[in-house]
Amino acid sequence: MTTAAATAGERTAKAKPATMAQALGRALRDSMADDPSVHVLGEDVGTLGGVFRITDGLAKEFGDERCTDTPLAEAGILGAAVGMAMYGLRPVVEMQFDAFAYPAFEQLISHVAKMRNRTGGAMPLPITVRVPYGGGIGGVEHHSDSSEAYYMATPGLHVVTPATVGDAYGLLRASIASDDPVVFLEPKRLYWSKADWSPQEPAAVEPIGRAVVRRPGRSATLITYGPSLPVCMEAAEGAVEEGWDLEVVDLRSLVPFDDETVAASVRRTGRAVVVHESTGFGGPGGEIAARITERCFHHLEAPVLRVAGFDIPYPPPMQERHHLPGVDRVLDAVARLQWEASN
Amino acid sequence: MTVQELPGAAAYRPTPPPAWKPLTDPAPLLPDPEPYRVLGTDAVAEADPELLRRLYAELVRGRRYNTQATALTKQGRLAVYPSSTGQEACEIAAALVLEERDWLFPSYRDTLAAVARGLDPVEALTLLRGDRHTGYDPREHRIAPLCTPLATQLPHAVGLAHAARLKGDDVVALAMVGDGGTSEGDFHEALNFAAVWRAPVVFLVQNNGFAISVPLAKQTAAPSLAHKAVGYGMPGRLVDGNDAAAMHQVLSEAVERARAGGGPTLVEAVTYRMDAHTNADDATRYRGDSEVETWRAHDPVRLLERELTGRGLLDDDGIEEERVAAERMAAGLRERMNADPVLDPMDLFTHVYAEQTAQLREQADRLRGELDAEHDQHGTDDGGAAR
């Protein structure tokens, strides 16, 4: 096992810079190596290594009892994980694609999220539910949903989503180590994004629940997460030409929500735009905008704006570029922040 | 439709698909055509008299528990009670066939099974009283929380049994579900997982005739619910659910088979719910008195009582003794349920996450403020404790 692990490590090391997919795989591997109670289960996670190859090599290294190909049934996968967690294991389940997780909703909402609460703290469930989410990869129907609002609306779940390679590793390790259930949303269009991240010296495990300022700025704050972070970073660079110095906040964790970092940023800049792929109506942006308004009203120079996906079912792949918030749409929103009134 | 050989195509002979072969021989998995019975048959000669006597005592206590709990709903002490009167043999057998290390996964109607397994009767009623969702530590008693969503606890039983086996423990999980629950997707997924993983699980379906008001014939077109087992590759057993001795024997065999590595079993107990779905339901809208009376003649307590008295294992004194013991239990339950539970509203925020989030801390502060204001206004000295 040691030799196999070393070889796998060397292979990964040569493939520098690393991808988010590799960082996630490494986080699973390291978690399983550190803690024998960590079990991976899902459809295709074993022999195939997952349709996105995130679990590649785990069954070989840890055996198919630790990395298990299950029958094709999401409620069954998550329901079995509940029982495994009740007996002291730490299951990590893969939902393969965002919309494929819907059959497991009842298990997630009625049991995974509530077991600690309904047993008065006697039976916490340390389950990590990995859900590849979002669009931009040309997936056909049911392969591109952004379902974070459903998860956010359920007390008892942590909801996290990395936007960088380093965070993918750190947040997944923290999620697996958490005694609470975590819905771990993987922005699948960033799976192949690269960073100078060393699988040999993985970044420190980030605590769940802290947002981070990715780019400091003074004119306005872009608040975003997951797949929209690179869009916002690019928009911020583009905005320099217009004379706007945009701050970019990467939430990383939607639940718990880091009001402190967000409010501090908006108080500094006085303007905020929330950017995400998920639909605007009833989406995460509405909650975030409301929280900002409640905390920063007297600091605001303009209404908090949202740049979100349209309020439509996720479109067919040949049309998705019109739906996904891109750099221009973000900059348009920034332009609408009533600059004339205050500058 | 007939296959016509075209002229000149005589050389072509279709062959079966290359990969096809049966995965499992269905014959040994099929249930018997009649529900298995022990009482009143030759099989009773092999039943342990001491076991029969114990089953009787538990049945009498169980019946009294059901009537007492139903009475408590009328007094407003329980928010709701789904009675298992008529189904006590299933409840008691499910509890008694398990070893201490095994796990029970009850549905909302299976309070009695939990109590018969040794759970404090008051702790078992907290969900139905409405003060706590689960008034006990599931790990301490190895009883999962009473499950209200239908069949969703079945995959938990599979996962737990699977995990126990992975750890090398010879633990069995017994999961209970009603006839209506067998239509749910989680029932299917749980049975499928259990069979594929050969998990040490026993699925007990209490077919009590109705899912609230919907009769079995509108629930399934299967020959019996036990027949469903064959489709998953596990044995199905059909048993008289009012025959405590038969229930105990069939479930014991299934538990031992699971413990020995033989995989899961689906047991269908044919029984009847004598009361309405809950105290809030009007059963006269969907079933007639004559049907209920037919089942009353097949009452689980009387079936066993007749067998025991007929064989000289029980006399009037013995019957009275059990009645008195059951009455004592009911009086104790009544007395304890008449005390208002003391609740701390601040507990609402305590067990949502391992650590309270900043948002929940804020909300807890708000509630604390409201409680303090209430206290100042009314001068109550209960520190916010409320019923």
The phi, psi pair for A225, rounded to 5°, reads: -165, 165
Mean residue pLDDT across chain B: 94
Task: Give the number of other Cβ atoms within 10 Å of residue B131's Cβ.
Answer: 15
d(CA B52, CA B297): 20
Q: Which of A143-152, A272-281, B19-28, B211-220 has the lowest mean pLDDT?
A: B19-28
Please report which confidence band the pLDDT of residue A184 belongs to, taking 50, 70 and 90 as the band edges: very high
Q: What CA–CA distance (Å, rounded) separates B110 from B95? A: 10
> Is residue A31 within 8 Å of residue A176, measured between CB atoms?
yes
Q: What pLDDT was estimated at residue B5?
A: 58
**Given CA atoms B23, B27, B32, B38 in this order, what sign does their dihedral have?**
negative
Rounded (5°) CA angle B262-B264-B266: 135
The count of C-alpha atoms lying within 13 angstroms of the C-alpha of B94, restricted to the half-sphere facing its C-beta, is 35
Cα–Cα distance between B178 and B195 in angstroms, integer? 20
DSSP A107: I
To the query of whether residue B64 is one of the catalytic residues in this protein, the response is no
For residue A212, give the 3-state DSSP assignment. Answer: strand
Site of tokens 């340390």:
A126
Give the CA distances from residue B84 to residues A6, B109, B128, in Å, rounded to whole numbers and listed in that order.
59, 6, 14
CB contact under 8 A, B189 and A76: yes
Q: Which segment, A189-198, A256-265, B16-25, is predicted with the most confidence on average? A: A256-265
Handedness of CA A23, A28, A32, A37 (dihedral sign): positive
A82 vs A341, higher pLDDT: A82
pLDDT at B13: 74
pLDDT at position B11 over 80: no
Query: Which residues of chain A does B351 touch, with a Cβ-Cβ cutoff of 8 Å?
Result: 116-117, 119-121
Residue type, A187: P
Interchain contact, A79 vs B155, CB within 8 Å: yes
For strands A182-187 and A128-133, give the pairing.
Answer: parallel
Distance, CA of A66 to CA of B217 (rounded, Å): 43
pLDDT digits (tens, 9 = 90+) for B334-378: 999 999 999 999 999 999 999 999 999 999 999 999 999 998 988
Inter-chain touch B351–A116, beta carbons under 8 Å: yes
Question: How are beta strands B103-105 and A220-224 bridged, if at all?
Answer: unpaired
- Specify the pLDDT at position B386: 44
Q: Is A243 on the interface with B (CB under 8 A)?
A: no
Two tokens, residue A272: 């905020």
- The distance in angstroms from the start CA to the end CA of chain B is 72
| Confidence grade of residue A83 (pLDDT, cut at 50, 70, 90) | very high
Instruction: Give the SS3 label for residue B211.
Output: strand
Q: Is A195 on the interface with B (CB under 8 A)?
A: no
CB contact under 8 A, B144 and A86: yes
pLDDT at A86 over 80: yes
What pLDDT score does A17 carry?
A: 72
Across the range A210-232, mean pLDDT stands at 97
Residue A196: pLDDT band (50, 70, 90) is confident
CA atoms of A78 and A76, how far apart (whole Å): 6
Binary contact (B353, A156; C-beta < 8 A): yes
Cα B8 versus chain centre, distance: 64
The count of residues in chain B is: 387
CA distance B319 to B110: 25
Please list, in sequence order, all residues whose beta carbon lies within 8 angstroms of the beta carbon of residue A36, skipping any fewer than 6 positions away: none
Q: Is B232 a catalytic residue?
A: no
Upstream peptide bond of A256 is cis (omega within 30 degrees of 0): yes
User: Is B173 in contact with B251 (CB distance < 8 Å)?
Assistant: no
Q: What is the mean pLDDT of residues B65-87?
A: 96
Mean pLDDT over A193-209 rounds to: 77
Residues 6+ away with beta carbon under 8 Å from B214? B180
Question: Mean pLDDT over all residues of chain A?
Answer: 93
pTM of structure:
0.93
Average pLDDT over residues A152-170: 96
- Smallest Cβ–Cβ distance between B163 and the set A83, A107, A256 belongs to A83
Which tokens hold the place of A118? Answer: 């309904």
The residue ranking higher by pLDDT, B285 or B14, is B285
Up-side HSE of residue A342: CA atoms within 13 Å toward CB?
15
Please give the pLDDT value at position B378.
81
**Contact in structure between A174 and A207 (CB atoms under 8 Å):** yes
pLDDT for position B24: 87
* Three-class secondary structure of residue A94 per DSSP: strand
∠ at Cα A95 (A55, A113), nearest 5°? 120
Task: With CB atoms and an 8 Å threshold, state whether B186 touches A84.
Answer: no
Which residue does chain B place closest to A72, by CA atoms?
B189
pLDDT confidence tier of residue B4, bands split at 50, 70 and 90:
low
Rounded Cα gap, residues A226 and B187, in angstroms:
36
Q: Provide the pLDDT for residue A339.
A: 75
B378 is catalytic: no
> Which of A81, A114, A257 is facing B359, going by the closest CB pair?
A257
Which helix (H) or strand (E) covers residue B68, if one does? helix B49-74
What is the ipTM for the molecules in this complex?
Answer: 0.93
Q: Tens of pLDDT along B34-55?
A: 999 999 999 999 999 999 999 9
Q: Determine what percent of chain A is predicted with pLDDT higher than 70.
A: 93
> What's the rounded mean pLDDT across residues B192-220?
97
Percentage of chain A lying above the pLDDT 90 cut: 89
CA dist., res. B191 & res. B205, Å (int): 12
Per residue in A1-19, pLDDT (tens digit) is 334 444 444 444 444 679 9
Given a cut of 90, is residue A304 above it in pLDDT? yes
| Chain A, nearest residue to B185 by Cα | A75
Distances (CA, A) of A272 to A250, B17, B351: 13, 63, 34
* pLDDT tens string B214-258: 999 999 999 999 999 999 999 999 999 999 999 999 999 999 999
A160 touching B, CB under 8 A? no
Cβ pair A176, A90 in contact under 8 A:
yes
In angstroms, what separates the C-alpha of A338 from chain B's closest C-alpha? 31
